[in-house]
Structures are given as C-alpha cells and as structure tokens.
Structure 1
Amino acid sequence: MKEIIKINLDNEMDLIMAHKRCIKIAEMCGMPSSFQTRFSTAVSEVARCSIAKGSNSLLVLGVNIIKATQKEIVAIITDAVDLKNCSPEAFNYASKIAANIEYSFYNNQSTTRISQPVLSPGLMSETKIKGLIDYFKYEPPLSPYDEIRKKNIELIALSEKLVESENKYRQLANTIPILICVIGERNNVILANESLENYLQFPLLNFDRKTLSNFVHPEDIDRILEGWSRARSNRSDFLGEIRIKYDNSSYIWHLVSIIPNKSEDGSFNSWLIHFVDINAQKMVVETLKDNSELKIIQRELESANSKLLFKNKELEQFAYIASHDLQEPLRKIMIMLSRAGQHLSEDQKKEYYFDRITLAAGRLSHLITDVLNYSRVDIKKQQFEEVDLNEVMSEILGDLSMVIEEKSAVIHVNELPIVSGLHTQLRQLLYNLVNNALKFTSADPIVTISATNLPDEKNELALSGNYHLISVSDNGIGMDSQYSGRIFDMFQRLHERDQYGGNGIGLALCRRIIENHNGSIDFTSQPGKGTTFWIYLPKQQ
C-alpha cells in the first residue's frame, strides 16, 4: 500500500477530517460518488468507535495497486483497544456498506482494514500517487483546529531532531579526553564537558579571577586573564601554558587555547577554551635541559614529544570540530525554527526552511558518527588474535554488494595472509580503502586486493622481510602528488562535498589503525590513472 496521509483520532474534529479526506482521496482516484459515500461512512463508523472507546488511535489512508489496471483505496485503523468487541454493531454496519473489511486483535493492538476497489480505468502511476501525497501535504487547513494541529506535528518532529542532534553533540564533547568549556561575553560558562567537571570536582560557573584562583596556580592567573582579555577584545586566538591544581598540594602543566566562536551573522558571542595536559613534556624539558650525559635519551624523548604534540594537535582539531563544525547545523536548526514562525505562510516555511533543517541534522549525524569512530580506535585492554584477511574481505564485499552492483564494479581478491591484530579494526581499515576505491571513480570501478612477498626497495619495512605487503588498487580519479603530505590528516577533503561524499576522516582512521598494529601505510597515485594503497603489517613471530 502507498501511504497518502495519517490522522490521529483524538476528538470529533479528527472524525470530520477523516471523513472529508476519505471522500477527497476517493474522488481524486476516480471513484463514483455513491461508492465514495459508502467507503467514507464505513471508515467513519470505525473511527467513531476509536475516538469514543479507543486509545492511541491512528488512521492511515492509502492506495493499493493490485496490478497495472486494478487498484483500491485502503483505510487502516490501529488502536490499543479491542474495538470490535467494544462496538460489534458499528462493525456490523461498516461490513454491510463497505466492499471489504478485515479485523484482527493481536499483542494488545487491534487493526481494522477497510478497502474499496476503484473501478475507473487508467493506470495509477507513481507521479499521480506523489500528487495525492503533495495535495494533502500542502492543502489549506480545513479549520483553525486543523491548522494548529499541523503546526504542532511539524514542530514536534523538528524538536525531536534538534534534541537528537544536541544529545549526539554532547556525547562527542564528553568523549574527547581534554578539558573543554565555552565562555560567553560576560565571563559566564555556557558549557563544560564531563572531563572538565570531573577534573575540577566543582561546577565551573564563571571564568573570572575569583573562580580561576580555585584551580589555577597563583603565578599563572594574570597570564591567562590577560590572554582572555586580549582574545575577547581582538576576537583573536590565545595559546599559553599554565599550571592547574592536581591535588591539594601540587599543580601540573596544561596548554590552554582560547578560540572565538563565529555565529551565523558573523558576530562573536562565545569562546571555546580547552586545556591539554603537557606536564610530561615540561618535566622532560626541565630534567634534560643542562644534562650532557643524557643527550641521546633527550633526542629520543624529543622525537616522542613531537609525536605527542601531533596527537595534541589532533585533539585540538577534535575540540574545534566540536565547537564549530558540529554546532553549525544545530545553529541552523535553531535559527530556522525561529524564522519559520515570523509572518510566513505554510508553503513558504516548507519550501525554504524545513528541508534545510533535515539536511543540516543529517550532515551533523554523519559527522558525529565518523568522529566518534575515529576517537574510539584504541588498543588498550584488547588482545591481538589471528585474523584471516580472506574472511574479512568476504564480509566487506557482502556489506558493499549493493554499491558494487549499482556501479557495475569488478573486484579481484587474491589470496591474503593471516595476520595478528584486532579483527574489528582491520575490517574497518580494508572497508574504508575498498569503499573509497568504489566512491572516487568516474568509470566502472575495477578494484584489486592482493598480497605480495616481493620487497619494495623504497620501503625499509618491506626490505626487512618481517612484514606482509598488502595492496588495494583501483582505476579511479587518482590524486596529485602535492597531497601526499596531508591525505592522511583529519578532516582533509580533496573534493567539494557535492562531488564526492564523506567528512575527510576515513584515511585518518586507516592510519591510526595501522599505527595501532605497528605497521605502515602509503600510496602511489596519478590523476586519472587510479590509486594504489600499500599496507605493511607485521608478520607473526
């Protein structure tokens, strides 16, 4: 059945609407007037029982195409009460005047199906059915009650999407392992994540000298207040190092960043502040500053420091996306909700705002999912096991079967090794690479996944003989060598969103998975000639 319209059966006004809309659908489908009356009367009889004696009653009207030239109008009434047992006389009357009526009561829900054949000739095309749906979607209200009811339904749906988006955003903010807060123009704390609240063990309400003195080292308070004042006055960033209280007698070093948040109209009315623990780096620097006997160790630690700073940079990107990119769709939803009620007709509201709200919420949902997947890639408390990559590829090709069929893709999978690792992460790695190969192409994709023992003279890992070399090759659009330095960075996109989908997280996730497995990933590519990704995974010892 093609659903045309739903009506909640709550009162007599709903009964009137149900009757009129039954008549209208029957009329638009070419049903004779006598049959229109019989069908709508039968539906009204059962609907009246639902309103009088039922609970959570819902009427769904639609068209059922039995075959090319045979169709019927269908009304389905669901209720939490056994309606036929409550009003047998109403059902008897409806059965006499309706062409077909079916009733069932199962699992505390009754279902009444009333149908009436449409004898007029002609096909019921998808275009005509869409026209019926659009007619009732955009028809003028039958009464002030109908208008208010429509608006309430729309606002409830929008409110549910907004709450869902806000919950996902808050979940992401609380997942990030850094201390985050958002400050307003008057030093008031608008938002603080759980990491900050748990660290301070008291609610952070204001960002002023009195509050800061409770957890910031006395010698560092002027530094952070001066940076905060400068950032607020100049609408600029601030970056500095301060000490935050660890317990009653000690402090640890943190890198503090203050970043202005830009609103939709271009103004600045809040600032993102986050604190990253850099105490280990500071202690290393102080310890090794003048110690000539530990110069070799210092160089090793400096290398580790660089990696740690890189990780901190990634965390900073997390904080930025949480405060800006992820909030952008939410701000759009709230602005559009506000504008939708200002002197606009229902048609204008639907045409200009509500569809955009749905798109913004959907984009945010995908972005949150991708970022959460990236943040959860971790090997702590997980044990490596033997993973057969042939089985992994079989699962992946099953998941992508619809895309492969749609794009007429050809997939070649040669014999792959058994490796030591985490099944879920290795599956995500190969899934991302194969999915990219199917996505970034302008012709029928040809993808080849294979393993080789031939050493790559340009790679030290392959020359050592201790690593499996796995390749994922495609005939896609390829990329220029100028992108080799940043293709695996977070949120890097080489194409506009309307050309190819995604959020620029997939390859960053691949690199992180490879790092967890003590391996390496690289690629070779030429524009228009495809790309090959090279994966190096340690052999089992």
Structure 2
Amino acid sequence: MIFKDIVNRDIVNLQNCEDEPIHIPGLIQPHGFLIAVDSTTHKITVCSENINQFLSISYEQVLGKKIEELFNEAFLIELNQYQSENTNQTKVFNFTIDKQLFSISMHASVGKEIIIEAELTENQFTNSNSLYNSSKQLLSYIEDSFTLKELTNAVAVAIKKITNYDRVMVYRFDADYNGEVIAESKEEHLESFLGLHYPHTDIPVQARELYIKNHLRIIGDVNYKPVPLYTYAESHLDTLDMSYSVLRSVSPIHIQYLHNMGVGGTLTISLLHKDKLWGLITCHHYSPKYLSQEIRNTVKLHGHFITSQIDVRLLNEEYEIARKTNQAVENLISKQLDFDRSSITQLFQDTSIIELCNSTGISALIGDEIYTYGNTPNHQDIKRLSIFLSHYTEENHFSTNALSRITKDLSFISDEFPGINYHFIGNDYDCIVWYRKQTITDIYWAGDPKKSIEKDKNGLSPRKSFEKFTESVKDSSKPWLKSELTASQNFFNFFQIHLRSILLNEEKENQKKLSEILKETNAELENINWISTHDLQEPLRKIRMMASMLVGDDIKELPKDVQLKIIKMQNSAERMQILISDILKYTKTTAQHSDLEIIDLNILLQEIKEEVSDSLEDNEGQLLISELPTIQGVGFLLKQLFTNIIYNSLKFKSEARKPIISIRENKTSKDKYQKSGNYYKIEIEDNGIGFDNEYSQKIFKIFSRLNDKNEYLGSGIGLALCKKIMTKHNGLIAAEGQPDKGTIIKIYFPKN
C-alpha cells in the first residue's frame, strides 16, 4: 500500500496570511494522536505519524484497516452511539487503551470522515478546584457581581485559580474587531495588560471564523514540532477539514507572534453573543502547559456563563442611567401644555429635554421655525444638517458618535458636535436633533497598531513590540447608550402626538375662519345668481330679439359686412345665455341636498330618448339602449347627466359616419372599481371624433375645452356638471377616447 501525507505546503507569509487555509494544515500538535474514519465503511483513512508514541502500532499498520481491528467493543459502542445521534456536536469521553487513560474527542468533519483525537489525560483537579466547587462558583457570580466588569473580573480570577496559568485575560472586541483587555488575573511580577487594545490584524478573519466554530483552543507548547497526517493513495483524500479539531496545528505566523510575546503555552475560549464573536478568554503561560479535558470543559463552562450574562449585566450597568433618563422624559410629558406653538417653546426651556439622553443641546426644525436649547450649531447650520440627514438616511431615526466618519462636508458641525441623535418628524426636513460635543479619548494599544507587521533582516514578521502606545481620538463623542436612545424615542413619540394636536387645533381655527368666509361668499353668490337669472338674462333676450329683427326680411338691404356683424352679435348673445344657464345648473347641483330615490335606468333612458329624438333625427343618429340596472339617485340630476353626455356625442360627431350612441351595463370587464363588487358600471359609447387619452382628466374640468369654440358651440361646462352629479351620487365618472374612432364615458353607481 502506498502512503502519502496531506500536509498543506502552500507558502504563507504576512502578505497573504489572511488567505491562509488554517483549517486544513494536515498537521497536529504532538501531545496526542489523530485518526479519521470513513463514516460509511469504518475504514481508517487518515492517521497521524506519531500514533506509535501512544500505541504499539505505526500509522502504516493503521491506515486502510477497519476500526474494529484496532479498538475493542466498548470503543465501537461509543462510535456507533455518536453516529446514531446524528449530531454536529463533539463527543468527549475518557477511555483506557493499553492501560493508558486517554481523553477522546470525536466529531464529524466536512465530507464523510469522523475525526477521532486522543490525548493522554489525568485528573488535574485538587480539592480546592474540584469540578463541583468550580461549578458552584458560577452560582456565586450571580450574587457577587452586578456589572459586566465585575463579572469578567471574577471569572478571570476563578479561571486562573482552576488552571494555574500565569495570566488570564478577558478580551472584548469592538465593531471593527479591535480588542480590549477588560479583565485580568495574573502573577504579581508580571506587567499588567488591563485596558490595553490590540489591533484587528492580530486575529485574521479566518481565525475569528474558527473561534466561532471551535470554542476552545489549546497550545500546550509553542515550541512544538508539528506532526504530519498520512493517508493511503486509494482513499483519494487530499485534505482533511480540521475546523473542530482540538489538536489542529497552529499557523506558523501565530506561533511566531506568541514567540515575540514570550509566551510558552496558551488556552483560548471563545465568547459568543448573538451568533457573533464578542470576545475571548485568553490564558498565557510563560512555559509549556497542558490541561486535562475536565479542566478545559470547566473553563469553557465559565466562558459560556459570561456570554449568557452579557445582556443582563449591560442592562444592570445602564439601569441607573435609564432611571434618570426616564425621569427626565416623565418630567416633560407630564407638563400641562396648551395645544399651541407657545407650548413648544415651553418644552424647549426645560433642562430635562437634554438630560433625557445626556446630550449637550437639542434643536427642532418645524416648518420655518427653529427651537433650540443648550449648545447647538447656529440656525443656518441646523438647516443644512437637517437637509443632509433627510437625504442620508431613509429611516426615521439615525444616531452616530462620529459624524465626520459619515461625511466630510459637515466639518463645521462635526468638529464641535460629532455626536448626533436624529429623529425625522415626517414633513419635508422637519426633525429633532440632540447633540454631543467632542470628547478626546486616549486609547492605549499593546504596541503601535500601525506597526502590526515589522521588517527585519529575515524579512517581514509579526510585530515584536508590545510596549504601551497611546493614541488620542478626537473626532468622536461619547457613544449613545441604548437607554438614552430609548428615552429620546419615547419623548419624540410624545412630541409627535403633541405637535399633531397643535396642527389639528390650528387647522380647526383655520376651518372656522374659512367657514365664515364661505358663508359670506355663498351669500354673495346667491345675489349673483339672482342677478344672473333676472338682470342679465333680460338684456340678452332683447339683444337677440333686436338682432333677429334686423336679420329678417330686410337683411338683403343691409351691407354684407353689417349682416355678418349682426349674425355674430346674435350668436354671441346666444352663447352667453347658454353659459349663464349652465352656470346656474352647476351651482344648483353643488348646493342640492335632495334625498335619493329608487330609479329604474331603463325607464329614465326611454324618457330621455323621446326628449332627444328631434336632435337624433336632425343628426341622422341612433341611440341604442341595453338592459340597465335599478339604482338610487335624484331623477332630474340623472336626466341632466345622461342628456349632457348624449348631446356631447351628437355635438362631436364624425363627418365621415352617422352617429351611433350605445348605452349599456358592462358586467364583464374587471377594472379596479368593479373588483370591489360595490359598483354598477354603465358605459356610453359613441363613434364620434374621439380624443387623445392624455386629456382624459382635463375634459371634466369646468370651462375646459379641447376643441375650437367657433367650431363647436357650448360653454365647456357640460362634463364638469356630469362629474358634480356623479359626486353627489357617491359615484365616479371616467372617459376613454381614441382620435377619429370615438369616446366611451364610464360611470360607476354604488350598489345598495
């Protein structure tokens, strides 16, 4: 049988380390051995070279054999049980092989391999750090710690006591995965790392991903010599995914980094919160150090306890802040305020308005008015900021403690007020903004973060200097806490309701004034109607009468130009009478309050057909009426409606064909009004000159005309009157035209 190793020999350096496939090194640490078993055939497909140092057998003798040939029935029961559970979890148990006690770790790899890892183990617990005592310690954390800082400090002390590492740190990531040591327990002679920051480059992306998958990582001796993994040619395996492996060999770059720190052995526990890497518990020893599986599990349990308490402890820390901010909100919303603009000024004179979210100032832009309290930008800059934020975010709320990182165009604001807490009121650029002034923060790094890679005579290497480096951050304010943002949101909700009440009150006053004006106007209109009916109609009748006398039998005796002027005068007077008559009808329809009655449209249209018969005959037209529904309406108004539409069709007939007008109920088409099932749809279709559909709305406007008034007589008020009539019937009217083909008027009557 031919054997081959599966060591990944890709050249890795600091220029490509972020692409290093650290999950498939093909190497393990030497303090244990590894075999991989095909989950289907139970054949051993991968074996570490060092198996002979733990068992009296070589990897050549192991590869290709079935696992049943190497391990006893008790071990196979454990394997079969793991497979039957069909879980992604790692199975850990102690097992004796050749009179040696091993800690066995068993998990499924990507593909169909089951990875089995074995480490010699012993009971490292003493009476002072027994598993029971360590577990009981977790319960005491709940009683003895209130904040997250207190909890992480207690856990660091407990883990150091359990493991006896020289240094134990709790390490927390920020949004960019720069880390900060927030808790530490160490030997007295060691320099403290508490409060130091580490750049995100110290832990590459793929390493962070592995920390999410594999929650515990131990390096017993940073000077270890990696052990290669072997397979046989027939297995067709080129790599083995070791993401969940406890023995997986570490990146040589990380080993060099640990050498530069002077560390001899490490243990790292992942702290996950909401499925993200929140931080790490990192244990350093300055000489080689190995831990039994039991102690590792205990340390992992402490890590899980921290992450389970993150939300609770953060809430505890914010509780006192939340209590004060809520009290400030309560002070404001409990005020007895009138519903007028002066109440806004009253709110913006109370110090609680900035205390509610611990800001240094606040501004509100409402229409053309700006209200401020505390330290804020000037009015012009407030307007510029409001316009920018309305375009920058589609959300109604936005907050940042570093405005300059969002835009450089507002440096005149962000230099002094980098902290912005913005709420959009909902009209143009109206908004409320709370402000925070710049705070100069000193961040202490473990070495200069800009020198995470150093160059020496051997080329590029991880940084060697971890000496404290101070960086001053000047472009930000104190971050907005969740409780502060919640308090500002609560006040904003109250303010929106109050502002709406003010606007409604103002609208109510405006309506009262408009109502008075409308009454006066209506009274004047009644006078105008009276004048129109009597004083204007009479002179027009006389003009028409005199004109008709002049164009009688003696017309031939008059000069031709005089004849034309008299005829024009007569036509103008006639058009004026029609216009006045239509205006009266229009205003009468607007003021009409007649009760609705049941109207059979079939009977109504037959009456109309008789009334328009002379006009139909003069125009050689046809009026076709199909079966129509019975509706509720006002009889004389409905007569006016259909008569106007019929006369319109005759007026705008085509010279190329005789007019045909059909009136029918359309039950088949399903437009947006019919889909509701609440309307009868009546269509009046003609074959006249039609119109372009872009004017389908314009034709219903009063005095609107699409054609030359000299060519087609009329006031342009007919269809506007029709629309008024349909509005009075709680119905709808629409038009659809095709030039030179005809028009369809669609009217919708509500069903009972």
Same fold (TM over 0.5): no
Q: TM-score, normalised by structure 1?
A: 0.37
Q: Which has the larger radius of gyration?
A: 2
Higher helix share: 1
**Relative CO higher for 1 or 2, CA cutoff 8 Å, sep ≥ 6?**
2
